[in-house]
Structure 1
C-alpha cells in the first residue's frame, strides 16, 4: 500500500554523484548480507545435507541455489527499504529518496522492476546510470522503466 511522502515541494532530481555515493554505501551492506547468506548456505550444505567439505560448491544445484539466495536477499534488502520509506541506508546518508511520480512510496512491483533493470544498467557497463547525465529529468533506466524517480531531500534544520 503506497503512502504519500513528505517534502514534495522541496525536492529536486538526484544527480549521478549522489546516486553513486549511495550505491557504494549500499554495496557494503549488501556484501555483508551476502556473507551471511553464503555462511548459511554452507551450513545447510555441510550439516543438513551432509556433504563432505570437498563436495561443497560442486554441482550446478549448489551454485544455482547460492546465486538465487544472494539475488533474493539483495532484492529483499532493497524492496524492504524502497517500499517502506523510499530510502535504503545509503540513500539516507546521501539524502536521497525513491518515489513514484506523484510522490508516494513505490510498490513491490515497481521495486522488482527497478531491481531487475538496475542489474541490466550495471551489466551495460553503467550505461543505465550514466543516462542521468543525458536525461533532462535526470532519470536512470530503472527510474524510466519503473515509473519512479530519485530525488534529493533538503537538509533538515536543527
Structure 2
C-alpha cells in the first residue's frame, strides 16, 4: 500500500504543477481519472510483464491465467476494474476470499485468474 501511495504521489506532482488547483470542477474529475489511469498502468504493466508487482515479488505471489501462463491485457484490465469496484464496495471483493473454498478474491473467481505461490529460491 505504501508503494502505491508513492506512485500516486509522484504521478500527481507533474499534473498539479501543470494544472494548479485540482480541487473543484472538471479539473478535479480529470485529476481523479488521471490517477486511476496511472494505477491501471502500474498494475497492468507488472501483471503483463512478470505476473508480479513489486509487493507480490516480496511475498512470492504470481498472477496467472487458468492455464498457468501470464495474463492477457483484457484479463488485467478486467481484474483491475473488478478489484477497484470491490474495493469501493467496502472491500467486498476482498472479503469474498475469506469464504471462498479456494481462498480466491471475487475478481479472480470471475475472470478465471489466480494467485499462486512461487517456490522459495535457494
Please give the TM-score of this superposition, normalised by the length of structure 1: 0.72
- The CA deviation at 1:130 is 1.8
Q: Which of 1 and 2 has higher RCO (CA within 8 Å, sep 6+)?
A: 1
Question: Are 2:6 and 1:41 equivalent residues in the alignment?
Answer: no
Question: Are 2:88 and 1:155 equivalent residues in the alignment?
Answer: no
Task: State how many pairs are aligned.
Answer: 122
Q: Deviations over 1:31-51 (max 9, x none)?
A: 1121122211112114xxxxx
Please give the TM-score of this superposition, normalised by the length of structure 2: 0.92
Aligned alpha-carbon RMSD (Å) = 1.3
Say which of 80, 92, 95 aligns to 1:115: 80
In structure 2, list runs of 5 or more residues that go unmatched: none
Say which of 101, 107, 112 aligns to 2:66: 101
Q: Deviations over 1:99-155 (max 9, x none)?
A: 001100001111111111111221222221121122122211110122200111121
Over alpha carbons, which structure has the higher Rg?
A: 1
Tell me how far apart the structure 1 counterparts of residues 83 and 15 of structure 2 sit (CA, whole Å). Answer: 25
Alignment partner, residue 47 of structure 2:
82
Tell me how far apart the structure 2 counterparts of residues 60 and 83 of structure 1 sit (CA, whole Å). Answer: 35
